[in-house]
Amino acid sequence: MHAVVFDLDGTLIDSAPDIHRVAVQVLAEEGLAPLDLPRVRSFIGNGLPVLVGRLLAAQGLAPDPARQSRMTARFEALYLDAHALTRPYPGAPEALAALAEAGHALGLCTNKPEAPARAALAAIGLAGRFAAVTGGDTLAARKPDPAPLRHTLTQLGRPAGVFVGDSEVDAETARAAGCPFLLFTGGYRKSAPGDIPAAARFDRFDDLPGLVARIAAGAA
């Protein structure tokens, strides 16, 4: 059976409301103006340092590495306990259960730092579903570099894998790693679904186990 590796934010969970809440607090502590939820949601996907850099750029500020580093550390500390508004997408827990029952090894590959990723999974009851978790700070490289996805597959010990994500970053990661990509269209993508290369696209998690089975059968 295949490994099935998932992105986290915008794929398995809608975490944008909590990320927005922490962003507003971190900005306020720096004496900066708040940003609305859609704007902050558009910054998600390339890792926490990039998100914080985008928060600062949205304020019209010149790059300030020291300030960005300070805000990134503060953001990560606050976010460890910021899960009150985070929810799994409808059907995602059930799809994970079905995939595990079918014998697939499940992993997570996210640009969120590993500790907050594990905390988010624990908060919504999904921590036990994944045999491997790779965060944005687990390796020196982050997605779309293929190294984190390849590392996750190695940890799972499976020769082949499918990557499930919601964004352009995830599609490029899968392509670079040579993995089929399944696009969840309900997440944080910035392009139209048809503009993102994918083996298949889905908007209901009920459809995911069948899509994985079809890819696994084609590779057999």
159: CB partners within 8 A, 6+ apart: none
For residue 93, whether the previous peptide bond is cis, meaning omega lies within 30 degrees of 0, is: no
> Is the separation of the CB atoms in 95 and 202 below 8 Å?
no
31: CB partners within 8 A, 6+ apart: none
> Is the separation of the CB atoms in 211 and 104 below 8 Å?
no
46: CB partners within 8 A, 6+ apart: 111, 142, 143, 169
Active site residues: 7
Provide the strand spans (E) within the chain.
3-6, 13-14, 87-88, 105-109, 132-134, 161-165, 181-184, 200-202
Cα–Cα distance for residue pair 79/2, rounded to 1 Å: 32
